[in-house]
Structure 1
């Protein structure tokens, strides 16, 4: 995740003193009537029914998310190191989710193989939903996350598998849930590319490869929206996610408008450590110079197992992840379907 932040994070600490199966058609857009918190009862029977439906849908989504996370972080996948047998199994799983939910391969197959990768065969997994609007379908939104991790490392005792739950099975799972939602509803006016990147941990190699390849195709990219480490909530914040490069664009404002809440905010540490340059959004910014940013909830205080064998599925807050996914869906729908390009760099 966000390449090479571990040393900076450690310095900051010194200075500051993953299988239950549910229906694939789970509703991803529950509502919270009037943003009410706590145990306040809805004002009417209709509102109460909607509240019950919302709670049921988030609970079902939470179960579905846990099932995906449990597989992606299982010891069978050996930490999903790029080029390994374990990441091959992860890629098989991802492309099956795409195939089973009406998401097409963007290229001839779902696998976008990296040329001249020196340590085994490596590939992004890339799905595609063509836009439904006759004009807007020629514009593209990329929704991405990296699905690789660091594999086998020296750990604690007999455990040597860095399972990579928060980093970044969480972002991968969020993108898969978005793909399932749009694959079912087919309500995307712009064309959407769902990109699961390999070799992020090797220096953003997979996203650099895909961004360059798409640029060579001269696609009209509107924006690239990346999801990274969204498995646990931030501490004492009034927003659920922060946006890397927050001050560079109006994406946070646009996101919150469509989410109809303060979903996305600013994290000073993200700017201090220049996280905008340290995840898979950066290559798309470099190639296309369009708003390309990362949503995350890793706030430097809420998760101490970064790049350790302790980054396990048992530490993930699945209720939080379900909430993030469900609240991000209207945000993504709004951005994808807006009649004009609202998201702009400042």
Structure 2
């Protein structure tokens, strides 16, 4: 997790059990303008997170065989759903502390002849720390909530837009490596894209969304809440309050501690993170207990399906309606 915080956390008061009907949820469709919409199901995010957080991948540390397997999995998913690579391949390669690393980037060109020249980045980091302090013989820090859950969100959003072809602006679906080493993957890509002079409208980052918030009147909080009108616009687009303010996010300066921050630094446009980690609902940060079986996949599917309509309206807004209120 990029927030880079080490705190004494409160116990996890609620365990989130997989619903036995996760695998047999009824598929339903919504018809709008005679277009069949894609609805993301709990089993889909379960499949993604459970693989990425499996012992086979050994905690997905940058430069390891485990993160290589994760990258191949993401690449194959993009190929299957029809999301193209942005560069010659899906991999954006760089070196960090003597290790070979790579972001994985999928690309959907916008459908509007003018707006397609503007970009929206939807991102999450797919690396984790590898191994942690042993508990009952287990040393693998699987990183389910941190941040396989964010990756599952980005991948299923990519599926939605690939199937519906409903993005007027171009979208980069970016999965970052070396986040746990100091946001190195996002820093490298932000600098590269800035040199390439892309017209970045907004960057939406997803971090630790595998369990729901507790006693909040919104779905996720936004880091750097006051830096832009992103939360207000997302709530307007969704027709309900899906993005809110968490005081502790400001206290711990979380805006500067995830992969949104390098893009904000380079482009000086709205680049912010959505999260449901509220410092009380999850006590396995960078620990071996961050396993897929404590994720709430019904919550995750609802999270994705709640955010997609708002993201879609942001991607298709006729003008750049999301704006900074304070610059760097």
The TM-score, its normalising length taken from structure 2, stands at 0.90
Kept after mapping to 2: 8 A contact 1:98/1:104: yes
Instruction: Supply the distance in 2 between the matched residues of 1:74 and 1:176 (Cα, whole angstroms).
Output: 17
- Counterpart of 2:54 (choices 67, 70, 74) is 74
Structure number with the bigger relative contact order (C-alpha 8 A, sep ≥ 6) is 2
Correspondence 1:188-337 to 2 at 5 A:
188-337=167-316
- Counterpart of 1:159 (choices 138, 153, 178) is 138
Of Structure 1 and Structure 2, which has the larger fraction of its residues in strand? 2
Kept after mapping to 2: 8 A contact 1:29/1:326: no
Question: What SS class does the counterpart of residue 147 from structure 2 fall into?
Answer: helix
Kept after mapping to 2: 8 A contact 1:106/1:128: yes
CA displacement, residues 242-273 of structure 1 (integer Å, 9 cap, x when unaligned) = 00001111000110111111111000000000
Instruction: Supply the distance in 2 between the matched residues of 1:297 and 1:171 (Cα, whole angstroms).
Output: 10
CA displacement, residues 311-342 of structure 1 (integer Å, 9 cap, x when unaligned) = 00011011110110001110110000000000
Kept after mapping to 1: 8 A contact 2:10/2:283: no
Question: What SS class does the counterpart of residue 321 from structure 2 fall into?
Answer: coil
CA displacement, residues 167-189 of structure 1 (integer Å, 9 cap, x when unaligned) = 00000000000011111111100
Question: What SS class does the counterpart of residue 283 from structure 1 fall into?
Answer: helix
Bigger radius of gyration, 1 or 2?
1
Correspondence 1:101-120 to 2 at 5 A:
101-114=81-94, 116-120=95-99
Question: Hey, which bits of structure 1, 4+ residues long, moved more than 6 A?
Answer: 20-23, 26-31
Question: What SS class does the counterpart of residue 250 from structure 2 fall into?
Answer: helix
Instruction: Supply the distance in 2 between the matched residues of 1:322 and 1:156 (Cα, whole angstroms).
Output: 30
Correspondence 1:77-156 to 2 at 5 A:
77-114=57-94, 116-156=95-135
Deviation at 1:157, TM superposition (A): 2.6
Deviation at 1:3, TM superposition (A): 3.4
Unmatched 5+ stretches in structure 1 = 32-53
Deviation at 1:4, TM superposition (A): 2.0
Unmatched 5+ stretches in structure 2 = 12-17
